[in-house]
Amino acid sequence: MEEVKFKFEDLKVYQKSLMFVDDIYKICNGFPKEEKYVLSSQYLRAAISIPLNIAEGSADTDNQFNRFLKIARGSVDECVVCSSIAFMQNYIDEQTNKDTRLKLSELSKMINGLRQSLNRNN
């Protein structure tokens, strides 16, 4: 049986954001139990919001897609804060914080680039 593929799944930024979600699941699994419904919950929601908004917006008009990308970009910023808090609380080490922030920087640039491309088309 042939696999059904959706248009947004070909977007590099979507693929990278999915990989980032996987990373955050692994990171949050190492958090203390008492953080399950606090920081790890917020971190995962913010990370998951990135590919969800990319996917949802891609099926709409360029203007709407741009709006969803703006929301995804805000979720990137939320993840930066979550990573900083996790580092300050010693839930992650310095290298994990740096690696996470590098990935978030790349996602931010990709989202901003896609938004600029959409703006040029309008």
Q: What is the pLDDT of residues 51-104, one digit of tens each?
A: 999 999 999 999 999 999 999 999 999 999 999 999 999 999 999 999 999 999
Q: Tell me which residue range forms the domain holding 24.
A: 9-121
Let me know if residue 2 belongs to a domain: no
Based on the structure, what is the number of domains in the chain?
A: 1
Let me know if residue 116 belongs to a domain: yes
Let me know if residue 29 belongs to a domain: yes
Let me know if residue 41 belongs to a domain: yes
Let me know if residue 63 belongs to a domain: yes
Total residues found in the chain within this entry: 122
Let me know if residue 113 belongs to a domain: yes
Q: Considering the entire predicted model, what is its pTM?
A: 0.94
CATH code for the domain in which residue 92 is found: 1.20.1440.60
Residue 9 has pLDDT above 90, yes or no: yes
- The pair phi, psi for residue 3, each rounded to 5°, is -75, 135
Let me know if residue 1 belongs to a domain: no
Let me know if residue 54 belongs to a domain: yes
* Cα–Cα distance list, 78 to 6, 22, 60 (Å): 27, 17, 25
Structure tokens at 70: 């703006």
Residue 121 has pLDDT above 80, yes or no: no
- The b-or-e profile of 9-33 (16+ CB within 10 A means b, else e) is eebebbebbbebbeebeebbeebee
